[in-house]
Structure 1
Amino acid sequence: MRNPILLIGNDINNISKGQSWKELLQDIVNFCLPEGSVQLDDRKPFPLLYEEIFLTAIRQAHINEADLKTFIAKKTLAIQSNEIHAEIRSLRPAHILTTNYEFTLEGVIPTAYDGIITERVFSIFRKYIVDNIHYWHIHGDCQNPLSINLGFEHYGGQLQQMRNYVVSGTTYSSPQTPKLSLVRRMHLKEPIREDSWLDLFFTKDIHIFGLSLDFVETDLWWLLTYRARQKFQKNTIPVRNALYYYIPAEFVKGAKFKLDMLAANDVKVIDIEAKDKPAYYREVIRRIRQL
């Protein structure tokens, strides 16, 4: 496929040597709290665990959230690129959407911001262009620590901004931003300029990999369900694009509950056999290239 559009999550970084996610969580706790103040537990959804850490730190250590997010930004910025990042770039994708905060996909730290407006906290227009590839950091980026989407409050605000852009219309003061909602503009058959990564979800085929799509990703699950409702229930706009979700075959049985929900939301699931993680991602890239 020429110039595909990709949505990529953090799992591709797990090939790189360095700090694990669990170690990062422990470092976050150690940074802002006395030992034993918060217990890490896999049963705690991360956005709520972050709120527990932060709210406990406010009371016990009077920490500023900007300082905490700056610490997290520095930690994640240290993640190293690996060969898979380079192979993804070799696809020459038109757009890469990512939930990652660092710039391993770009291969360099961008020197200029390319979104139509500068966003301090949320990420509707957050874009960098590197070597003619458009990179959308949909959960924030390390150069703007307050934009890093971690807690339940931030997820709620992000979803609110997303729904405004897609459904009800925006109130941004900048004349560059569309005021009519995406759905309204599509209904009126106005040209979609790809001002936001959200435009792509309703108009272009997207290949999703390296992203667990846990149910704590409430913003992305809302987007999937709203798109599916537009296609199958409301029929107010044409939704003709396809979404593809890639998963290692060894995880299919254990993830059936999630894959069933993806299928219900008009996402095509593609499982791939591979001997290890690098081989799996190389096969994903190969299949996308050959489409």
Structure 2
Amino acid sequence: MKNLILLIGNDINNISHGQSWKDLLQDIVTFCHVGDCIELDDKKPFPLLYEEIFLTASKKQKIREKDLKSFIAIKAAEIKGNGIHSAIRALKPTHILTTNYEFTLEGSTPFENTSLINEKFYSIFRRYKMNDINYWHIHGDCLNPMSINLGFEHYGGQLQMMRNYVVSGTVYTSKEVPKASLLRRIHAKQVYFHSWIDLFFTNDIHIFGLSLDFVETDLWWLLTYRARQKFHHKNIPVPNEIYYYIPEEYVAASKFKLDLLTANDVTIVSLPGKDKAAYYQSIITRIAKAN
């Protein structure tokens, strides 16, 4: 579909049989040999829990983060695709943004990184193109384990790079990367979609399968900054719409989050969600009809 943009999270993977997120957490604790001193409490924000696991292991076992993230990359790569992944590809969107590390959305592991630059750690330009669809792995990918965004420190660095790209300009040595900030380039009408971030200020985006917990500080900052530009600063035009899909059964319990999304100029779309596969198929059908 012409210029269709999707942002997709991990929940679509939960339709597939296999390892759950809770299983992965336990595997990480076991791999790090810290099961006797780490409590997997839901009240702990995951980026800080990751730091607790890694730092405890680092002090006790002298584990390298590279080894830990390589282990996580292997585990994530074991996730199997399902019919929803295929249905998403059948929409033929121009861009798919995802917080997922594996390549179930692509349907196979890509051969070529088509990013503007080859990022080892952060993910401002991380793109793979397959069958005319641009896939942006905004929190890293399995082929580059150190790019996998899990810990609080990594989130902080990612946000720093994002804010530079949008507000103050980049400091990359590559001549391919624009030095002027995204704000300046929008003013000059010189937006060439170098980064997935560009899309948040220019094109409609449909978000689903993503819980958008408050630990996703990078995405919440981006939504907030976009809304401030639209309603407060008004330095640039912000003509696009952002849609967030949620099962209607979760709406009441998620009111606090939905209120914040609404304040940040995000349109909430609720659909019946008791059957997970049917719920995601209904989103795909709705998007197909609207586009």
Same fold (TM over 0.5): yes
User: Retained in 2: the 8 A contact 1:11–1:210?
Assistant: yes
Rounded Cα–Cα distance in structure 1 between residues aligned with 2:83 and 2:122: 30
Residue aligning to 2:47: 47
Once the two structures are superposed, residues 14-50 of structure 1 have per-residue CA deviations (whole angstroms, 9 ceiling, x without a partner) of 0000001001000000001243121100000000000
Q: d(CA) in 2 for partners of 1:3 and 1:204?
A: 8
Q: 2:187 & 2:265 partners in 1: Cα distance?
A: 21
Q: How does 1:1-291 map to 2 (within 5 A)?
A: 2-189=2-189, 191-291=190-290
Cα distance in structure 1, aligned partners of 2:137 and 2:150: 14
DSSP-derived class of the 1:157 partner: helix
Contact 1:204 1:241 in 2 (8 A): yes
Segments of structure 1 that go 5 or more residues without pairing to the other structure are none
Change in CA separation of 1:34 and 1:266 when aligned onto 2, cut-off 3 Å: closer
8 Å CA contact 2:73–2:142 kept in 1: the answer is yes
Structure 1 letter corresponding to 2:260: M
CA deviation after TM superposition for structure 1 residue 3, in Å: 4.3
What amino acid maps onto 2:235 in structure 1?
Answer: T
Return the letter of the residue paired with 1:91.
L
1:273 partner letter: P
Would you identify which runs of 4 or more consecutive aligned residues in structure 1 move more than 6 Å?
Answer: none
Tell me if structure 2 keeps the 8 A contact 1:3–1:91.
no
Partner Cα separation in structure 1 for residue 34 and residue 53 of structure 2: 11
CA deviations on 1:179-206 (whole Å, 9 max, x unpaired) are: 00001111223x2100000000000000
Deviation at 1:4, TM superposition (A): 1.1
Measured against aligned partners, the alpha-carbon deviations of 1:181-238 in whole angstroms (never above 9, x if no partner) come to: 001111223x210000000000000000000000000000000000000000000000
Counterparts of 1:8 and 1:187 in 2: how far apart (Å)? 29
The residue identity in structure 2 corresponding to 1:17 is H
Task: List runs of 5+ in structure 2 lacking aligned partners.
Answer: none
How much has 1:275 moved relative to structure 2? Answer: 4.0
Residue identity matched to 1:162: M
Which has the larger displacement, 7-16 or 27-36?
Answer: 27-36
Q: Distance in 2 between matches of 1:289 and 1:50?
A: 38
CA contact (8 A) 2:249 2:274 kept: no
What amino acid maps onto 1:168 in structure 2? S
Q: Distance in 2 between matches of 1:152 and 1:273?
A: 34
Asked if 1 retains the 8 angstrom alpha-carbon contact of 2:244 and 2:267, the reply is: yes
- Rounded Cα–Cα distance in structure 2 between residues aligned with 1:171 and 1:3: 30
Inter-partner Cα distance in structure 1 for 2:35 and 2:262 = 44
Deviations 1:110-135 (A, max 9, x none): 01100010001000000000111000
Structure 2 contact 54–65 (Cα < 8 Å) conserved: yes
Q: For the Cα contact (< 8 Å) 1:101–1:142, is it kept in 2?
A: yes
Q: Distance in 1 between matches of 2:244 and 2:34?
A: 41
TM-score (norm 1): 0.98
Percent sequence identity is 66
